């Protein structure tokens, strides 16, 4: 890259009604014979006082432009607060000899992690029934493991990146981030005394686990590009400088993580990208054991592996590896392998089929308890759970799967926790208008072959909430190539189909992530103001299987954007809304989506909110030293080595395709310490939008100076951030007044 002299000497300060104008420092970027001149790359220097002052000026400008929205923001915040039971607690879950749960307290920003001793009476049903708990009422014998409010006192940010307890229940490890950059400090508390051990480990990544004997703790370390590349083991009581690297991943395009196997006999290392992976196992009970590979990444199989012991026909337990994989199965399947088979060349290996491949069913994962196989699948866009006994697994005697039954059309059900020895699995359930529920599903037995679904809790919603006041339907838009795009359409039941309402289209469409049905208290504030809320399940996501993802990545990425526009066209022609009153919302990779559709079809939107938006993807991915850039090659292509990928990305990159057209109202919402999508991307994008727009609508940047990728950390602060976004949308659409009879009661 080469730079030319400054055109301006400084950022032009903003008056209350004038946007700040950043100086231009032309910087040439040349790849594959193409040169792009970037005037605002200098804003990347977050250590620069000039950059910080510019960002503060952006905040001052957006505050001035949106000052009239403050009463609406406050109203929405109070609605969120008024519907939330602020003093509450989670359903206790059992691990080893304790029940663990969290409390929230009115007026407190953060949760309080607690536990009480569990009983072992020999009655498995009783022993695995969670204790009765009440909000605000302590349970006899309750111990506080971690009070986030105490930990966060005096800190600008607070987030826990992982915690673990030793099998004997004596030691508690937790990792804390106080800046929002997702680099955590790991500490260990002796729960018998309440004292912290001298062991302190800095700059760890998400996830911590103790070895089964409690003598070691495992953690992950990121490299300079913020990619987790090492799993290390710390022996308690020894200097951190002596910590052993269990495994180091040097491929810049591969992500590294770990967990314990369900039966805690192995450390399971997961290495992979979106297209292939590798699992390595370290056995705990054999000091001479080294890390061994299940299937080499060279085979280009995308898989997960779970080692466990299976009862054989003779009653003897035999080692088996459960494989969830895409070998000859684009939607994945589940197989069972003898470890001896895995020593052979892959083409010669014989695996037993457990869950066969289906073009209509996406297998997301599989795990085991001591008695059952648990499989997560997606069918007809909906995530579901199936279980089957381990007896006869992979043989003709294999049991038929049992699926807990729910009575709604659009819902999400998934395993939220299970203990290897438990007779139950914990399920989370939600739908668009059913608040989150916690169930225990009693695993099937010969006496009870269908199992039993036990409702443990439905999250309370205050303020007179009545789900029957709202409607959720599945609709379909048609893309230009004829593909049918599923939509979830949410509205207040009083909305009439007379083309007068306001509408909002939300989308993501990347990384095979599905936008599953889920209850949202904040969303009610928009629905109560007459906004028809459409969730567009566009290509690039995972709602309709692996093909759905692959048809929206790399050289088919533009399908994501045109699908979203097709969803917008469906809404405009549905009869529900006024086509001039439609807004768009998306975050992160969905923020790239916002930038792309703003360039492609600005006339279709009255307003666009882009949260932590990935709007300068080409600059980021062309620099492998930037956080996570190399990991993105499997999603977008590698523009460094591939001229076609470069040309294709440049043709849709939001920052590089800003046009001289009338853009709608745009708000780019970001955080200064975000390590996933750097603040500089929306900062540059906003400047270029203001330079080129032929319209007069304001283009704003709101930056949280103490936040990370998820914004600020406290719940009340997060509610205010959501209220800001929704007030901006509602005000832009002229949907600020509550519908008759709607709102808090």
588 among known catalytic residues: yes
Nearest Cα residue to 253 out of 676, 635, 554, 631: 631
Q: How much is the CA Rg of the chain, to the nearest whole Å?
A: 26
Burial class (CB in 10 A: 0-12, 13-18, 19+), 498: exposed
User: In the chain, what are the helix, strand and coil shares in percent, each to the nearest 5?
Assistant: 20, 35, 45
Beta bridge partners of residue 700, listed in sequence order: 667
Nearest Cα residue to 361 out of 342, 391, 344, 383: 383
What are the C-alpha distances in Å from 310 to residues 96, 320, 668?
A: 22, 7, 53
Largest CA distance in the chain: 83
For residues 404 and 453, the answer to whether their CB atoms sit within 8 Å is: yes
Torsion angle of the four alpha carbons 676, 679, 685, 689, in this order, in degrees rounded to the nearest 10 = 140
Rounded CA-CA distance 536/479 in Å is 12
Q: Which of 488, 709, 713, 725 is catalytic?
A: 709
Nearest Cα residue to 332 out of 320, 324, 342, 343: 324
Nearest Cα residue to 509 out of 540, 482, 530, 471: 540
Q: Which of 274, 332, 588, 732 is catalytic?
A: 588
Contacts of residue 680, defined as CB under 8 A and 6 or more positions apart, other chains included, come to: 41, 43, 44, 46, 616
List helix spans (H) across 397-553: 521-527, 546-550
Nearest Cα residue to 166 out of 115, 126, 203: 115
Contacts of residue 14, defined as CB under 8 A and 6 or more positions apart, other chains included, come to: 20, 21, 57, 58, 60, 61
250 among known catalytic residues: no
Q: Which of 674, 713, 725, 732 is catalytic?
A: 674
Nearest Cα residue to 109 out of 723, 721, 718: 718
Rounded CA-CA distance 613/684 in Å is 11
Torsion angle of the four alpha carbons 46, 14, 60, 152, in this order, in degrees rounded to the nearest 10 = 20
674 among known catalytic residues: yes
Phi, psi dihedral angles at 223 (to 5 degrees) = -90, -170
Count of C-beta atoms within a 10 Å radius of residue 694: 10
What are the C-alpha distances in Å from 75 to residues 69, 72, 717?
A: 10, 5, 15
Which amino acids are annotated catalytic?
588, 674, 709
């Amino acid at each position: 890259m080469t730079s030319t002299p400054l055109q301006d000497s400084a950022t032009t300060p903003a008056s209350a009604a004038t946007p700040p104008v950043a100086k231009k420092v032309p910087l040439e970027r040349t790849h594959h014979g193409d040169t792009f001149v970037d005037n605002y790359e200098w804003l990347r220097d977050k250590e620069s006082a000039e950059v910080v002052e510019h960002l503060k000026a952006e905040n001052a400008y957006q505050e001035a432009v949106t000052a009239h929205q403050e009463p609406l923001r406050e109203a929405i915040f109070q609605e969120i607060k008024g519907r939330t039971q602020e003093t509450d607690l989670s359903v206790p879950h059992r691990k080893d000899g304790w029940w663990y749960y969290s409390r929230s307290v009115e007026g407190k920003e953060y949760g309080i992690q607690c536990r009480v001793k569990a009983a072992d009476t020999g009655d498995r049903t009783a022993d695995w029934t969670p204790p009765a708990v009440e909000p605000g009422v302590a349970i006899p014998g309750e111990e506080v493991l971690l009070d986030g409010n105490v930990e966060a006192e005096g800190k600008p940010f607070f987030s826990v990146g992982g915690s673990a307890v030793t099998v004997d229940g004596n030691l508690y490890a937790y990792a804390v981030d106080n800046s929002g950059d997702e680099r955590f400090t790991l500490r260990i508390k002796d729960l018998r005394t309440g004292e912290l051990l001298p062991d302190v480990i800095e700059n760890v990544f998400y996830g911590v686990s103790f070895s089964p004997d409690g003598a070691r703790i495992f953690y992950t370390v990121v490299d300079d590009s913020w990619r987790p590349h090492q799993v290390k083991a710390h022996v308690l009581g020894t200097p951190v400088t002596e910590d052993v690297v269990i495994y180091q991943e040097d491929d810049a395009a591969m992500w590294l993580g770990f967990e314990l196997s369900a039966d805690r006999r192995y450390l399971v290392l997961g290495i992979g990208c979106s297209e292939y992976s590798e699992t390595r196992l370290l056995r705990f009970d054999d000091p001479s054991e080294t890390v061994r590979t299940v299937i080499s990444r060279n085979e280009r199989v995308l898989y997960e592996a779970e080692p466990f012991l299976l009862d054989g026909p003779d009653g003897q337990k035999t080692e088996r590896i459960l494989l969830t994989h895409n070998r000859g199965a684009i939607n994945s399947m589940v197989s069972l392998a003898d470890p001896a088979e895995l020593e052979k060349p892959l083409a010669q290996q014989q695996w037993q089929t457990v869950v066969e491949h289906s073009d209509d069913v996406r297998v997301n994962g599989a795990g085991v308890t001591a008695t059952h196989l648990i499989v997560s699948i997606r069918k007809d866009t909906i995530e579901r759970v199936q279980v089957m006994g381990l007896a006869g697994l992979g043989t003709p005697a294999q049991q038929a799967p049992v699926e807990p039954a729910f009575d709604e059309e659009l819902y999400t059900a998934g395993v939220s926790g299970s203990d290897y020895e438990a007779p139950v699995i914990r399920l989370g359930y939600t739908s668009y208008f059913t608040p989150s529920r916690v169930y225990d599903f009693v695993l099937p037995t010969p006496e009870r072959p269908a199992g039993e679904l036990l409702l443990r809790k439905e999250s309370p919603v205050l303020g007179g909430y009545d789900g029957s006041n709202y409607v959720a339907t599945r609709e379909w838009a048609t893309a230009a190539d004829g593909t049918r795009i599923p939509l979830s359409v949410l509205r207040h039941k009083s909305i009439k189909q007379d083309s007068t309402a306001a509408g909002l289209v939300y989308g993501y469409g990347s990384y095979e992530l599905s936008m599953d049905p889920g209850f949202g208290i904040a969303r009610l504030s928009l629905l109560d103001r007459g906004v028809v809320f459409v969730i567009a399940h566009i290509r690039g996501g995972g709602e309709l299987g692996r093909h759905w993802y692959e048809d929206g990545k790399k050289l088919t990425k533009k399908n994501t954007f045109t699908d979203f526009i097709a969803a917008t066209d469906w809404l405009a022609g549905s009869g529900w809304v006024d086509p001039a009153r439609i807004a768009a919302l998306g975050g992160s990779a969905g923020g790239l989506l916002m930038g792309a559709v703003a360039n492609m079809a600005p006339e279709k939107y009255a307003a666009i909110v882009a949260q932590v938006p990935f709007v300068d993807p080409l600059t980021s991915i062309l620099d492998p030293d930037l956080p996570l850039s190399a990991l993105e090659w499997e999603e977008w292509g590698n523009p460094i080595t591939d001229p076609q990928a470069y040309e294709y990305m440049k043709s849709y990159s939001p920052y590089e395709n800003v046009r001289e057209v009338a853009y709608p109202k745009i708000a780019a919402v970001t955080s200064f310490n975000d390590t996933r999508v750097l603040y500089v991307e929306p900062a540059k994008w906003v400047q270029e939008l203001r330079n080129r727009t032929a319209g007069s609508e304001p283009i704003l940047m709101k930056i949280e100076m103490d936040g990370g990728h998820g914004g600020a950390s406290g719940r009340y602060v997060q509610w205010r951030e959501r209220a800001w976004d929704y007030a901006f949308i509602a005000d832009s659409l002229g949907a600020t007044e509550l519908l008759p009879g709607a709102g808090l009661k």
